[in-house]
Structure 1
């Protein structure tokens, strides 16, 4: 299935909801970073946010992902953007970065902390951060009190159990962080930046005989349906934390 997703999603500039606009907004909300220390982009995928982080901060960025093909795409995009000398990559999971303790000034993670779990990720990152270090990540949450049954069933099948923003923040505090800023990604980050790319991607492979590719298409079709009907009930929040 991982290879099938890579095949269907190849060529997409984003592999999940988000936008350059939201990345830049989050960067503008960062508190002052330590003068020294690594900037890590964990679960970077093909680098949609990596390029923006490296450009805005004007600091070297170490981007990591478990998918070598995604990192190769990032290399190509960095060369095109004139940022190849500012971005290095490594194959690593977000909860096993291989980085030394007390070495990171900033840890960035858009749309990927769920792959290792929020608690596991935050605990691992806490030891990596220097004093005054900062974490910025996005995570899916329920908005309000409505929990549509169809949406809950679909999301549970492809995403860890979701909570609301208040409960997410409580977990962040328990892991040793202080809140600096938080905002919800706008609807356009879903429909204009992500889902609009899924439609032509799955149509290209609609007749493909590979059963794994057909499974990916079925999941994407369901995601589009759930987002159309219940998108107001859930979404991503951008959370910016500093190490206590």
Structure 2
């Protein structure tokens, strides 16, 4: 016979726990002649069996049912499913912690954060030491803070000598320009890149153009092109973020943004950029939109990962009207705009050996090209010509 303190030592439980077990009639002590309660080896074994059942996630009440009757298989299956969910949750937590320590990829986590809380995601990245430029590129390109530096070095090596960084075509841009009643005034080209559109606008109007980009190298390419075309007196470059532009309110007759608004989100761009436009001024903006009612699942999955805010042109028009703009015209960019972007990119990639790359940069670009080759037409860029109301 064992006293309760001896039983507690044998099974590794507290005296109060064993008294609670006895209250629930999970064990039954015998009152001895000396007034103490005594327990047998049978009680020791019963407690150890209870401990094993509890280790399977069963409550004390469920343990008692298993001891007193046949095992309830449905109950055990429910507990097994709960444990599987808990294990999956713990594994996810472990994966995140190991990724934050640089032990594996954070891509999936960055993508989920970008979908759920894009502004908080950007703010968090900047608190980790990334500049806004780096953080925006991480959000849209590398998608992994642990591989960002190498990824961007290889990405920039691929795009280094390419003039167009997104689909565009002179004829499409001029078609939008011809829709407008103005041919002079102050124009802001937002996310100008290497200045293909900036130079085009300067050649086809009497505009003074402020070209804004957050990449000094792109702006140096634009300055060289301006000098070469004798347009330097008409073009001023500004290295700054499109999210915090350093200009006074209502100082531009027109804002032009081809292939750039997605970086901060079209709705946010409409809201933040509108105050810089003069009363009854204009905004020309392009965006990637769905054209097919039922696009292929592979295309949907790709753009859900790479541009989760992508929607139809009808929905964009509604958003633009709600933001205080009149939609003068919108149209799908030509096939030539895609050729201008994809052909030089494909030629450049053909010159590289995949083994030269250690990040996923070239694989991501090759996958994007594959999606365009298979599904372009189910989606495309559209140009929207807008007039500010009031």
- Global fold match (TM > 0.5): yes
Aligned to 1:114: 262
SS of 1:90's equivalent in the other structure is strand
Q: How many positions carry a matched residue from both structures? A: 239
The CA deviation at 1:207 is: 4.1
Change (3 A) 1:83 1:131: same
1:83 to 225, 231, 234: 231
Q: Aligned to 1:9, which of 159, 175, 179?
A: 159
How far apart, in 2, do the equivalents of 1:243 and 1:30 lie?
Answer: 13
Alignment TM-score, normalising by the size of structure 2:
0.59
Residue of structure 2 in register with 1:211 after alignment: 358
CA pair 208-44 structure 1, distance change in 2 beyond 3 A: farther
Closer, same or farther: CA 86–199 of 1 in aligned 2, 3 Å: same
Aligned partner (choices 164, 174, 184) of residue 322 of structure 2: 174
Taking structure 1 as the reference length, the TM-score comes to: 0.93
Q: What is the deviation of 1:210?
A: 3.8
Q: Is the 8 A contact 1:95 1:120 kept in 2?
A: no
Query: Structure 1 CA distance, aligned partners of 2:309 and 2:273?
Result: 21
| 1:19 to partner: Cα distance | 0.8
3-state SS of paired residue (2:326): strand
Deviation (angstroms), 1:223: 1.4
**Whole-angstrom distance in 2 between the partners of 1:183 and 1:31:** 18
- What is the CA-CA distance between 1:203 and the residue it aligns to? 2.3
Cα distance in 1 for partners of 2:303, 2:316 equals 17
Q: By percentage of residues, which structure has more strand?
A: 1
Secondary structure of residue in 1 paired with 2:380 = strand
Does residue 22 of the first structure (1) align with residue 22 of the second (2)? Answer: no
8 Å contact 1:46–1:74 — kept in the other structure? yes
Instruction: Report the aligned-residue RMSD.
Output: 1.5
Distance 2:214 2:153 in 1: 13
- Is the CA contact 1:31–1:180 (under 8 Å) kept in the aligned structure 2? no
The structure where helix makes up a greater share of residues is 2
**Of 328, 332, 335, which aligns to 1:187?**
335
Show CA shifts across 1:106-146 (max 9, x none). 00000000001101111111111111110001100000302
Give the one of 42, 48, 64 matched to 2:196.
48
Whether 1:235 aligns to 2:385 is no
The one of 195, 198, 218 equivalent to 2:345 is 198
